[in-house]
Amino acid sequence: MTSGDRGHPPEQWGSSLGFVLAAAGSAVGLGNLWGFAYRASQGGGAAFVVLYLLIVAVVCLPVLVAEMVLGRSTGHAPLLAPITAGGRRWAPLGWLFMAAAIGILSYYAVLMGWTGRSLIHALSAPLPADIPAAERFFAGISSGGDAVLGHLISLALTGVVVAAGIKAGIERLTRWAMPLLFLLLLALVIWAAFLPGAHEGYNGFLLRWDASKLTDLTTIRNAFTQAFFSIGTGIGAILAYSTYLNRRSGIPGEAVAVVGMDTAVGLMAGCITFPLVASFGLVDVVSSSTVGTLFISLPTGLASLGGAGRVVAALFFLLAYVAAITSSVSLLEVPVSSLMDRLGWSRSRSVWLMVLLIAVIGLPSCLDVAVLERMDALFGGVCLIAGGLLLALLLGWQVPDRFRTDLLESGSSPDLVRLLRWALRWISVPAISLGLLISIIDLAKSWSGAGA
């Protein structure tokens, strides 16, 4: 490792659009389709949506730009980039990126397995006729052999794409997957808008305004977690992708495109799930929300539509699986690029070793949904937000010149750079500190059984 030097990754994105689609692919995932609905349904309503949008625009966006600058300006993978920029004492941040990416992928692949299994089921058998039947089906796919198999297949597919490399693997996948995903999503949003109870769905969950929820701890934790998880900043995934960026890319514009697409998909997913829930009288199931909610309520609701319902269910789970794999590849790229960078290993050796390790770490989540929920709260919640805070401190306060110089040299206007740096220092840092504190307190409360 040569501190201060710029690493020279041998690969580059084919084009700026290729990078933006890949980064948007990382951001858009199960977090948007399943996490947004799951968290929005935990009582926050419109207050949750407002907090979420606010956090995305003023807190996450500057951090995302900082993460991209750190990757491009150092040219090093997530493990070494913080040391290269800030010196030895920033080494823990590199390890936090590694731990968080491995931790998240270990249960994300399990969720992908459930999604794939639900897709196959929708294609091959009638949907469950009522909630108890759906719960039995879900219990079957979310534990034991089925869950392990789905987890392993999903990890193996992710490994195949990452092993093929940046341009031939990840960029090639996201180039067709992202447009397909938008089309499917749009078709389902339009379909859902014509369901009999659509308006109650929008009003009940997304538009219901209760100002007191703005200060409710669980709503705040949900909005923070959802914003960071959904954009996927704070974990080194976008950092890893940015090391393959050329020096001319306009990072702020690309960051806005990524955040815009991600937010649009989250809201569109809400416009599919909530009308469905309201229309088929599934409000109670959703309000007692767990990670399994969508997998239970969606197929049950659609069952009453017969064959057409099966088509919609299959499309939805296909969409979710495509969205998930464009995210899981970015998670795997974090440890893979770090091993290549730190130890000089080949891409395929790094990929398969990591796939093996993550497969083992994910086993407890395959066997017990409660473990999966805790992994999500810890790695997808606290670790990700902590990573975001450290990134903002590193580029906002420790090495602000690196932030400024990189952006100015690639053609961003001085006013924009000043504004971004100001936001990183004075908005992102205090807001994330507060969000992290609230998240830890609320999580500790709920784990000790006192909270929601």
- Say whether residue 230 binds ligand PHE (CB under 6 A): yes
- What whole-number distance in Å separates Cα of residue 277 and Cα of residue 298? 8
Alpha carbons 185 and 286: distance in angstroms, whole number: 21
Residue at 140: amino acid letter: G
Residue 61 near residue 255 (C-beta atoms within 8 A)? yes
Q: Based on the shown chain and the rule CB under 6 A, indicate whether residue 327 belongs to the binding site for ligand PHE.
A: yes
Residue 229 touches ligand PHE, criterion: CB under 6 A: yes
Residues 55, 166: Cα–Cα separation, whole Å: 30
Stretch that binds ligand PHE, among 127-135, 231-239, 307-315, 425-433 (CB under 6 A): 231-239
CB closer to ligand PHE out of 283 and 390:
390
Q: Does 158 bind ligand PHE (CB under 6 A)?
A: no
Give the contacts of 266 (CB within 8 A, at least 6 positions apart). Answer: 32, 36, 52, 226, 230
**CB 210, min distance to ligand PHE, A:** 26
Quick one: 13 or 36, whose CB is closer to ligand PHE? 36
Q: Does 219 bind ligand PHE (CB under 6 A)?
A: no
Taking Cα atoms as reference points, which of 77, 81, 83, 71 lies closest to residue 19?
Answer: 71
Exposed, middle or buried, 40 (CB in 10 Å: 0-12/13-18/19+)? buried
Q: Give the DSSP per-residue string, 113-156.
A: HHHHHHHHHHHHSPPPSSHHHHHHHHHHHTSHHHHHHHHHHHHH
Closest separation in Å from C-beta 88 to ligand PHE: 26
CB 443 within 8 A of CB 381: yes
Output the smallest distance, CB 111 to ligand PHE, in A: 9
What is the CB neighbour count within 10 angstroms for residue 59?
Answer: 27
Give the residue with the Cβ less far from ligand PHE, 158 or 230. 230
The nearer residue to ligand PHE, 164 or 231, going by C-beta atoms, is: 231
Choosing from 235, 325, 377, 391, the residue that interacts with ligand PHE (CB under 6 A) is 235
Q: Rank residues 147 and 235 by Cβ distance to ligand PHE and give the closer one.
A: 235
Interface with ligand PHE in residues 29-88 (CB under 6 A): 29-32
Nearest to 6 by CA among 65, 91, 80: 80
Given the complex with ligand PHE, which of 237 and 322 has the nearer CB atom? 237
Which single residue is written with the structure tokens 């952006």?
407
CB of 385 to ligand PHE, least distance (A): 11
Question: Of 30 and 134, which CB lies nearer to ligand PHE in the complex structure?
Answer: 30
* Residues of the shown chain interacting with ligand PHE in the complex, contacts defined by CB under 6 A: 26-27, 29-32, 104, 229-230, 232, 235, 237, 327, 330-331
